Chain A
Amino acid sequence: MTLVATPALVATTALTKRYGSAVTALDGLTVEIQPGIVGLVGSNGAGKSTLIKILLGLLDPTSGSAAVFGLDVVRKGVEIRQLVGYMPEHDCLPPDMSATDVVSHLARISGLPGTAARERTAEVLRHVGLYEERYRAIGGYSTGMRQRVKLAQALVHDPRLLFLDEPTNGLDPAGRDEMLELIHRIGTEFGIAVIVASHLLGEIERVCDYLVAIEGGKLLRSAPLGSFTERTGTLAVEVEDGQERLAERLTAAGLHAIVDGSAVLIDLVDERPYDLVRDTIAELGLPLVRLEQRRHRLEDLFRDGPDGQPANGGTPARLAPVAVAAAAGPAAAAEPAPGAEPAAAPGSGEVEG
């Protein structure tokens, strides 16, 4: 970790990219990104892929400048690419080659000598969870396996920085969880800086510690994940009956809870509600059906208004605005219970009762 000390990992200044005269993919984007697991969020067409391609030196910016590791992307593209890995959004694997052959070939193209390329290939494929099947032709792989190979080829030369473009594309829920877990390990255990582009905020916030949101090629917000947490999610507690009683008890305990059909929706500020909900349900003896973390939509999270009124009809299960809950909210948020173990892993789905 010698390289990341002085300059920012990534820095752009008034970065603009136009395709022809009609399409502006990036519009004067100025942002600085420090090492860590950084989520690059934005809806489709927001300019995420364009930004990554410019940082890789695959596209030239129309105007403005960008640097990775302090190296200018236009003039030092080769030097930058020596130290970064890239997992493209789209399919990019030759179907008639085996995962081992593809990854070790690409390792050599990245400058690893033959023996090292083979060793690193075996190791990296093991890390991403490909075993016997790595000798078979990729044409017969599932989407999940292909995504793993794509990730492996980005990792094989031990980059300092990894660009992942929509890494959970096309994966089923289990595959998504595994991919996110893998990304988290890469950023923490492996010690590699990661920039993950995604339009699914709910996924990205599970692994990132910093978020950069862009929309229409402009920077919407760039901040540590912690500063977003006041509105990161909703916990839906579905019980067969006794919703009112549960909501009362939870409100009394300092949470903001409202009844929504058969479920009680709780503002998820930190991990504390999990314990409280579990204990409360146990005390009341309520038949619990499921416990589920619901995701906010991207627009809700990045809206700069004082709160997130359920302005869009897309998520009927939206919580009442945080401002209303302010009386109760800060108390709950202020002191996260030390050492509290969440009853369920955040967001990992359901607890069947």
Chain B
Amino acid sequence: MTDAAGPTPLPTAVTASGRGGSIYDLGYRRYEGPRLGRAFAVRSLTIDSFRTAYGIGHGGRAKIAPVVLGALATLPAVVVLGVLTLATRLGAREQLEAATPIGYDTYYRSIDAIIALFCAAQAPELLSRDQRHGVLALYFARALRRSDYAVARISGFALALLLLLLLPVTILFFGRVLLATDVVTAIGDDLPKLPAVLAQAIVITALFGSVAMAVSAFTPRRAYATAGIIALFVLPGVIANAVIAQGSGALGIILVLLSPGTILDGTSALFFGTGLPETLFFFDLPIWTFLLSAILVTLVAVLMTIRRFVRITT
């Protein structure tokens, strides 16, 4: 093959120069180890997407937005715990529990703007930038399918979003439990509320995440993607309100079922067993239609994203 170095010369002086140079240059070595294939590629890309969503491995500036938004998302939990600590010291915990506006069922409503901003800021980091810088060509020239790329990017972003949503609630849970006089009873009180929180977190992740990814998939320009995501999160709600104010109930219901904000109001009411907000008084379909709508919107957004990358030219 290539190692036509010929017979080694008889022991003359082997110095650092000349033939002895090979001491410093090992030459090219073939890779004989395992090649783990498609599943591993998808896993690696998923992990990379999760890290990229938090700016890990992309320099300091890339971390500013996710870290600030992550801190803001956690802030209400920390404040609630702080106040709770104070109240417990003063023996006024009971009254405070009744008065505090932020609990498990209302937590995500209180940070919904931050969740939306996180999506608008970080989803384009994953999908728009790869298009902008031509990196797609490098991915698609490797042992994975185009749809694998889309699925891995979406999964990684979903994991990042779930962390953003579950971390504050976890802090809230452990804080509340540890502050209680009777820890076992406190766990017994709080634990049953957590499945609903988890369900709502998954719905938010699926809905916001998939819509944000779908928008990012269609533009290489980060700013356009960010603007588009915010518009999609906000505008349907605004339009719905305007339509309802005009008194059109049927159209209003359709719009409410398409607007990410009101869909989440609906699923929250479903999971936590609370009523719909007063603004949705006219909604006379079963409440699970909100969940159905969330699933449908997510499916459409994911399929659009995959389709986009299957067809994109590199």
Q: Identify the A interface with B (CB < 8 A).
A: 1, 53, 56, 58-59, 77-79, 81-82, 84-86, 88, 90-97, 101, 105-106, 108-113, 116, 120, 123, 127, 137, 153, 157-158, 185, 188-191
Q: When each residue 136-156 of chain B gets 1 if its CB lies under 8 Å from chain A and 0 otherwise, what string results? A: 011111111100000000000
Knowing that A78-B144, A95-B133 touch, tell me 16 more A-B residue pairs with CB under 8 angstroms.
Answer: A56-B140, A77-B145, A78-B145, A82-B143, A86-B138, A92-B134, A92-B138, A94-B129, A94-B133, A105-B48, A106-B142, A111-B37, A112-B33, A112-B36, A185-B28, A191-B28
The minimal Cβ–Cβ distance linking B126 to chain A, given in whole angstroms, is: 11
How many angstroms between the C-alpha atoms of A109 and B145 in the bound complex?
Answer: 11
Question: Are A108 and B44 touching (Cβ within 8 A)?
Answer: yes
Distance in angstroms between the alpha carbons of A153 and B137 in the assembled complex: 12
- Residue interface mask B28-49, A partner, CB < 8 A = 1: 1111011111101100110010
Query: How many A-B pairs with Cβ below 8 Å?
Result: 117
The answer to whether A110 touches B143 (Cβ under 8 A) is yes
Given known A-B contacts A97-B57, A109-B139, A111-B35, A90 and B44 have beta carbons under 8 A apart: no
| Residues in A whose Cβ lies below 8 Å from that of B40 | 108, 111, 113
Q: How far is the CA of A277 from the CA of B149 in the complex (A)?
A: 59
Question: B13 at the A/B interface (Cβ < 8 Å)?
Answer: no
Most chain B beta carbons < 10 A, residue from A95, A109, A116: A109
Once the chains bind, are B144 and A109 in contact (CB under 8 Å)?
yes
Q: Number of B residues contacting the other chain (C-beta, 8 Å)?
A: 39
Q: For residue A280, give the distance in angstroms from its CB to the closest CB of chain B.
A: 33
Report if B27 contacts A (CB, 8 A). Answer: yes
Q: Give Cα A59–Cα B31 distance, bound, in whole angstroms.
A: 28
A302 to chain B, nearest CB (A): 29
Cβ–Cβ contact A86 & B33, under 8 A:
no
Q: Are A158 and B41 in contact (CB under 8 A)?
A: no
Q: List the B side residues contacting A108 at CB < 8 Å.
A: 40-41, 44
Q: Give Cα A58–Cα B145 distance, bound, in whole angstroms.
A: 10
Q: Which residues of B contact A116 (CB under 8 A)?
A: 31, 33-34
Q: Are A191 and B33 in contact (CB under 8 A)?
A: no
Distance of A153 from chain B, by nearest CB (Å)? 6
Closest to A52 in B: B141
| C-alpha spacing A109/B138, complex, angstroms | 10
Task: Chain B residues near A92: list those with CB within 8 A.
Answer: 133-135, 137-138
Per the bound structure, the CA–CA distance linking A112 and B44 in Å amounts to 10
B30 cross-chain contacts in A, Cβ below 8 A = 158, 191
B1 contacts partner chain A, Cβ-Cβ < 8 Å: yes
CB distance from A203 to the nearest CB of B (A): 22
Instruction: List, in ascending order, chain A residues with CB within 8 A of B27's CB.
Output: 189
8 cross-chain CB contacts under 8 A: A58-B141, A93-B134, A94-B133, A97-B58, A110-B41, A111-B34, A111-B41, A113-B33
CB distance from A106 to the nearest CB of B (A): 6
Chain B residues in 8 Å Cβ range of A127? 28
Contact A86/B137 with A94-B129, A97-B57, A109-B144 known, Cβ cut-off 8 Å? yes
Cβ contact within 8 Å between B142 and A109 = yes
Beyond A82-B143, A94-B129, A111-B36, whether A88 also contacts B44 by CB under 8 A is: no
Residues of A within 8 A of B2 (CB): 188-191
Given the complex, which residues of A lie within 8 Å of B28, measured CB to CB? 127, 185, 189-191
With both beta carbons as reference points, the residue of chain A lying nearest to B140 in the complex is identified as A58
A1, A90, A111, A116 pick with most chain B CB within 10 angstroms: A111
CA distance A211 to B213 in the complex (A): 45
- Does B181 make an interface contact (CB < 8 A)? no
Q: Judging by beta carbons under 8 Å apart, are B37 and A82 in contact?
A: yes
Q: Is B100 an interface residue (CB 8 A)?
A: no
CB-CB under 8 A for A157 and B31, given A78-B145, A94-B129, A97-B58:
yes
Known: A111-B37, A120-B31, A158-B30. A94 touches B142 (CB 8 A): no
Asked if B137 and A81 make an inter-chain contact with CB atoms under 8 angstroms apart, the answer reads no
Is B62 part of the binding interface, using a Cβ–Cβ cutoff of 8 Å? yes
Interface residues of B in 198-253 (CB under 8 A from A): none
Which residues of A are found within 8 Å of B279, using beta-carbon distances?
A: none
**9 tightest Cβ-Cβ pairs between the two chains A and B:** A158-B31, A86-B141, A92-B134, A108-B44, A82-B143, A111-B35, A190-B28, A111-B36, A88-B137
